A = this chain, B = another copy of it.
Amino acid sequence: MSGQSAVSAAKAALKSQAIELPSWAFGNSGTRFKVFAQPGVPRSPEEKLADAARVHAHTGVAPTVALHIPWDRVDDYATLAAYAGDLGLRLGAINSNVFQDDDYKLGSVTHPDAAVRRKALGHLLECVDIMDATGSRDLKLWFSDGTNYPGQDDISARQGRLAEALSAVYERLGDDQRMLLEYKLFEPAFYTTDVPDWGTAYAHCLKLGPKAQVVVDTGHHAPGTNIEFIVAMLLREGKLGGFDFNSRFYADDDLMVGAADPFQLFRIMYEVVHGGGLDAGIAFMLDQCHNIEEKIPAIIRSVMNVQEATAKALLVDGDALAKAQREGDVLGANAVLMDAYNTDVRPLVAEVRDELGADADPVAAYRSSGYGQKIVADRVGGTQAGWGA
């Protein structure tokens, strides 16, 4: 492909990209040490949607919003979906929560007590009911289940309980619905986690069937893990269901995606592009915490970071790369990749946004919109949304 047609193709791909926003990123969040509240934070699912709509208006590529149940529980999900539609949005993945009830101290679907397991399963099935109402395609399952001390519970028995619950949920899924199983190395469990790595998630999804897929949270790996390798593996196996994007220097730091290691994000997006993942129904979701920075512009910046990494990945000269790889030209192949990475794609992405009717400089546009000041003035009283609230 010539340089110019590569750029055109990249622009087309960028225009059709959709990045899903997590409703909870608009609320307060923090660490176990402290949650710092911010003025203007939403107090309801509707206000979260309103904020999300601003992000989409400025960036043009964030048309869906993931919900977290029970944090976004409403009486009538169809009404909420319609409200989203009025804002130019759609409701995205439903995220279950089986980690914040007192009953879940020793686990949810893997708890030694069958009564707790039943309760947890009930919640997961309720989430599928909500999907029916919202029209959501994806159920995202993250389990905090695990143990803190050696001997605390039986590792293998917990896998059996997990398999049982997953199977029951799988059976309940509609034809066009999927379950996305997330893995995480540790936290809040500090000795074993019941789905700690992609291998475990993959093993379960393989047994469940095609509607079960793995979701890669970029912050959930052991130090040194090559995440793009996992992405390539799962894509190859047809088992990559989606991403939870964020970034980290240490553990599950949940910083803005691309903030800690933009080159890693590029390498991940390169594997997605190269493996045909842009058109494979993969959900590109943000999952971040904005503990100390302003939330809406942080989310805008995150969307831009994914977009810029995608743009660079799209600019890799595939023919030149394949040739260098075939010839065993280590430096040449690496240089092809680095050439794309070193390109300043900001003008290109600004054009894309411009052509989409969004803003060339989304953060500046948000700043000058007055929206930030407006929500601070308006959202007085009530209970602010918080991570876990």
Contact = CB atoms under 8 A, between A and B. Distances in A.
Interface of A: 30-34, 36-37, 99-100, 102, 104-106, 112-113, 144, 148-156, 159, 185-188, 190-193, 196-200, 202-203, 206, 221-226, 228-230, 232-233, 235-237, 248-251, 253, 255-256, 259-264, 267, 271, 274-275, 291-294, 297-298, 301, 308, 321-322, 324-328, 330-331, 333-338, 341-344, 346, 363, 387-388
Given A149-B255, A185-B224, A190 B250 contact: yes
A22 to B, nearest CB: 15
Contact of A326 (B36, B112, B225, B249): B112
Nearest to A185: B224
A224 B223 contact: yes
A261 B387 CA distance: 31
Nearest to A254: B190
B151 A321 contact: yes
A334 B151 CA distance: 5
B330 A148 contact: yes
A188 B149 contact: no
Given A102-B36, A153-B333, A224-B223, A328 B112 contact: yes
B261 A261 contact: yes
A344 to B, nearest CB: 4
A40 to B, nearest CB: 15
Given A31-B32, A293-B331, A155 B112 contact: no
B250 A333 contact: no
10 contacts: A32-B32, A148-B291, A148-B292, A149-B333, A149-B334, A151-B321, A152-B325, A156-B275, A298-B331, A335-B363
Nearest to A346: B342
A264 B150 CA distance: 10
A275 B144 CA distance: 24
A290 to B, nearest CB: 9
A106 to B, nearest CB: 5
B196 A198 contact: no
Instruction: List 8 A-B pairs, minimum CB-CB distance, nearest first.
Output: A199-B199, A151-B337, A222-B222, A223-B223, A31-B188, A190-B253, A344-B344, A155-B232
B233 A203 contact: yes
A294 to B, nearest CB: 6
Contact of A267 (B150, B196, B229, B325): B150
Given A190-B250, A261-B261, A294-B330, 18 more contacts: A33-B100, A33-B187, A34-B188, A106-B328, A153-B325, A156-B232, A159-B232, A186-B251, A191-B226, A198-B199, A202-B202, A202-B203, A222-B225, A261-B264, A262-B263, A301-B331, A308-B342, A343-B344
